[in-house]
Amino acid sequence: MQSLLSPKDDTAFLSTRGLSKSVTLPRDVFWRAGERRPVMNDIDLALYPGERVGLVGLSGSGKSTLLRALLAIESPDKGSVACQGKVVRPASTAKLRWYRQAVQYIPQDPASSLDPRMSVRALVAEPLVRLRVECDPDERAREALEQVGLGGAFLARKPHELSGGQAQRVAIARAIATRPRFLLADEPLSGLDLPVRTQVIDVLRTLCEERGTGLLLVSHDLAVVTTLCRRTLVMDNGRIVEDRPTAELWRAPEHPVTRDLISAVSQLPTCAYPHCNAAEVVPLL
């Protein structure tokens, strides 16, 4: 496959080059074609093995479109996505089996991704079976559930028997069962109350630290990103307008959208990293 990475980027695990995408808006009158609006504009991005990166922005900024491109479920108009230098394009499961095993997705709403007819054991083991991972699916499912703090007693349960926090942890277990190198998480904490959010954050942090798994956390909440990510990307109008260490971005936001996102946070949560000093950040709020 064609290599996209230059020598300075050859350590990147995931990368994009010139990624662009436009959508057609609804037509205002029936005889005139709808206007084309860009939702991604020439995005160059590099995500490195084991790093945790936040992707934030207002609604409509292009975060979800970028995520779909990285997941190889939507083709860009221009540009490419690469994994370790190999071009990734939407294709059949068979052709992308190597990529689906290496990069897994944590959905925003686990209820929409968990088949209500299946047991937790079957749900967590399903990616292993579909991707033909050489392992004992039942044993790997049990291991993944234990890693997210759910014991074997949950194996026989159905999704309707789970709380919101338990369902999200099952979704995470399903994502990590293939032992991926990178997780792409789309607002995984939305809809959860504060205690459950804290539990899920702890699960994600522990998984990444113990297994060296990379994480791209898509969120509109900078406070959540601060608890997990050392690096933060800010999107606005289809472009990445800031790409800096999280603590530096908090101390001195440069783009108006970043300042708006920070001002929306009423209280900075306990930070996961000693380099991010809450005392330095709170005066900005």
**H-helix or E-strand spanning residue 257:** helix 256-263
Distance CA 213, CA 206 (A): 10
Q: Tokens standing for 275?
A: 């380099």
Whether the per-residue pLDDT at 276 is higher than 50: the answer is: no
In the predicted structure, residue 136 carries a pLDDT above the cut 70: yes
pLDDT value of residue 270: 46
Q: Is the sign of the CA dihedral 111, 114, 118, 124 positive or negative? A: negative
- pLDDT of res. 156: 92
**Range scoring the smallest mean pLDDT among 88-97, 118-127, 131-140:** 88-97
Are 280 and 251 contacting, i.e. CB atoms less than 8 angstroms apart? yes
Q: How confident is the model at residue 248 (pLDDT cuts 50, 70, 90)?
A: very high
State the pTM of this model.
0.85
69 in Cβ contact with 87 (< 8 Å): no
Q: How far apart are CA 34 and CA 53, in angstroms?
A: 35
Average pLDDT over residues 197-220: 90
Closest by CA to 213, choosing from 226, 227, 203, is: 203
Q: What is the mean pLDDT of residues 227-239?
A: 93
What is the reported pLDDT for 29? 60
| pLDDT value at residue 59 | 86
Q: CA 52 to CA 227: how far, in whole Å?
A: 11
pLDDT score of 5: 42
- The mean pLDDT of 100-124, rounded to a whole number, is 89
Residue 48 CB coordination number (10 Å): 15
| Three-state SS at 55 | strand
How much is the average pLDDT of 268-280?
A: 42
Residues 197 and 204 sit within 8 Å (Cβ to Cβ)? no
Residue 269 has pLDDT above 50, yes or no: no
Amino acid making up residue 186? D
Mean pLDDT confidence for 186-196? 81
Per-residue pLDDT at 31: 63
pLDDT (0 to 100) of residue 268: 47
| Confidence tier at 110 by pLDDT (50, 70, 90) | confident
Average pLDDT, the chain: 84
What are the chain's domains? 50-77+92-284 (3.40.50.300)
pLDDT at 277 over 60: no
Residues in Cβ contact with 236 at an 8 Å cutoff, skipping those fewer than 6 apart = 57, 58, 61, 255, 257
Q: Distance (Å, rounded) from C-alpha 173 to C-alpha 178?
A: 9
pLDDT band for position 198 (cuts 50, 70, 90): confident
Query: Are β-strands 231-236 and 52-57 bridged in parallel, bridged antiparallel, or unpaired?
Result: parallel
Residue closest to 233 by CA, chosen among 245, 223, 224, 221? 245
The C-alpha torsion from 37 through 39 and 43 to 48, rounded to 10°, is -170
What is the C-alpha separation between 186 and 231, in angstroms, rounded?
17
- Confidence label for 41 from pLDDT (cuts 50, 70 and 90): very high
* pLDDT higher than threshold 50 for residue 181: yes
> Which tens digit of pLDDT belongs to each residue from 6-24?
434 568 999 999 999 998 7
